[in-house]
Amino acid sequence: MRIGVVNNLRAGKSQEQVSRMLGFLRSHPDVLHVETETADVMPEALAELARQEVDCLVVNGGDGTLQYVLTEILGSGVFGDRVPLVAPLRAGRTNMSAMDLVADSDPLRGLESLIECAEDGRIAERVEPRRVLRVSYGYGIQRAAQYGMFFGAGIIKRAIELNHRLFDKEGQRMVVEGVPGATLVTAGLLGRAITGDKSGILTPDKIQILLDGEAVHQGEFRVVMASTLSRLFSRMRPFWGQGPGGVRFTSIAAPSKNIGRASLGLIRGKPADWVTPENGYTSRNVERAELRMNCGFTVDGELWQPDPDRSIELSAERVVHFVRA
């Protein structure tokens, strides 16, 4: 089995982590690797690994790096019809997908363990097929569909946007970063929403939602999210809907009944009996969701803006075989 590593040099919580990984890769020429710092070099980096016929693609980065990789593999078809195994490491500031796959907290240790399993022929023990979200949001080649594991709009998008802004001029975080930072910002905004605050960045978004072709609701929303993950950051499981669809979808309207009382049950996926669509809460497993909106959204922490008057379509038909590293 040929293992290739996409090494995002800008990922990671410390320069020491980046240096350790670089040292390991450069001392193991049998492990193919490419180095990236910006998204624009990702297509050629992956094309090189495809030319080398890599069987297992290790992603040394965070959720954003994985999102770029999945989009190139599934959207651009850089590997052709042969989709490699994908092994995300917990090497970024946010590692929601890798954590859901129970990847090792130390990315280098995870890579070493993965290589050992491959050499022993035990890689199949770590393979887990997962559906991947397809987010179609615009026209033309420059607005091609994005692929990832999580979609969010409303407070979630604004929390990530706010967290991105919390840099000083040298690009260093001024507050807690990564998963803890995103959690704190989201919790703070939700706290303000609970008090009834609808000002500034808490202004609800106007969205029309169709789930599997059925018009569910048209109005203002605090939160709209969809995922193929079992859990989100901080072990949140805000999906409690039923159905065979591969897209886990949840929305919270504005207003919604007793959001303060509902919050704990919502994030655990065990809401109270009165948390229903009639009271502003919807959660379903669907094959397709259509969102008619002009507000921005996030896919795995990356921020996007839909084309005017273009519906956003969410589906999860493609399956990728992920490997726990």
Instruction: Indicate if the pLDDT at residue 166 is higher than 80.
Output: no
Instruction: Render 1-14 in DSSP notation, one character per residue.
Output: --EEEEEETT-SS-
**Strand bridging mode 146-148 / 133-136:** antiparallel
Instruction: Indicate if the pLDDT at residue 27 is higher than 50.
Output: yes
Helix (H, G, I), strand (E, B) or coil at 178: helix
Are the C-beta atoms of residues 105 and 324 closer than 8 Å to each other? no
pLDDT tens-digit series, residues 274-315:
999 999 999 999 999 999 998 899 999 889 988 777 789 999
pLDDT reported for residue 89 = 96
Report the C-alpha gap between 133 and 30 in whole angstroms: 33
For the chain, where do the domains classified as CATH 2.60.200.40 start and end?
150-299
- Distances in Å between the Cα of 292 and the Cα atoms of 69, 143, 295 are 27, 17, 9
Other CB atoms within 10 Å distance of the CB of residue 113: 16
Fold for the domain defined by 3-133? Rossmann fold (3.40.50)
Instruction: Indicate if the pLDDT at residue 169 is higher than 50.
Output: no
Q: What percent of the chain has pLDDT over 70?
A: 86
Q: b/e string for 19-44 if b means 16 or more Cβ within 10 A?
A: eebeebbeeeeebbbbebeeeeebee
Phi, psi of 110 (to 5 degrees): -65, -40
The model's pTM: 0.89
Higher pLDDT: 58 or 262? It is 58
What CATH number matches the domain at 150-299, 3.40.50.1390, 1.10.3720.10, 2.60.200.40, 2.70.70.10? 2.60.200.40
* Half-sphere exposure (Cβ direction) of 19: Cα atoms closer than 13 Å: 3
pLDDT tens-digit series, residues 39-90:
889 999 999 999 999 999 999 999 999 999 999 999 989 999 899 999 999 9
For the chain, where do the domains classified as CATH 3.40.50.10330 start and end?
3-133
